[in-house]
Structure 1
Amino acid sequence: MLFCLIVDDEKWIRNGLVNRVNEHADFSAVSTAHNGQVALEWLQGNYADILITDVRMPNMDGLELVRRINGQFPWMRSILISSYDDFEYAKRGILLGTIDYIVKPVKQSDLEQALQAAAGQLRSIRTNEARSLMLKNYNSAGILLARWQEYPGNQQALSLPLLVIDTFHLLESWVGERVELLLALADEWIAGVVAVRKTEGVFEWMAEEHDRSPVPILDDRRLYFRLVGVYRLELAIAWFNSHDGMAGINSGRRSIVDVKRYIERNYPHKLSLQQIADAVNISKPYLANVFRQETGMTIWNYLTEVRMREAKELLLTTDKRLSDVAEAVGYSDSAHFAKVFKSYYGMNSTELKNRFSRCGAEP
Structure 2
Amino acid sequence: MIKLLIVDDEQIERRGMQAILEKSFSNIQFQQAKNGKMAVELAAEFVPDLILMDIKMPGMNGLEAVEKISNANPKIKFIMVTAYDTFSYMKAAIKLGVKDYVLKPSKASEIKDTVGKVIQLIEEEQRALIWELEQQAERQKALALMETDVVTQLLFDHVHDVHVDMLVEMLELPSTDEMFVMLVLMDEDGDRCYMGIKELIRQTKSGWVGALYGHQLPIIVFRQPEKTYRSQASHLARQILSTVKKESSTNCFIGIGRACTSLEHVRQSYQDALVATIDSRPSLHYSFHSDSLVSDTKVNSQHYLFKDKGFADLIRLGQWEKIRAELLGVLDVYEKKHAPILQSQQLMLEALWGVSRIMNEIGIETGTPLYSIQTTDYRQLRMETLRLLEIMGHAFTKHISLLEADTVQQVKQYIKKHSHEDISLDSLAKKVGLSPIYISKLFKEKQGINYIDFLTECRIEKAKKLMSDTDTSIKEITFEVGYHDPNYFSKVFKKMTGISPKEYRKTLLGQI
- TM-score of the two chains, using structure 1 as the length reference: 0.37
| The structure with more helix, counted as a fraction of residues | 1
Q: Which has the larger radius of gyration?
A: 2
Higher relative contact order (CA 8 A, sep 6+): 1
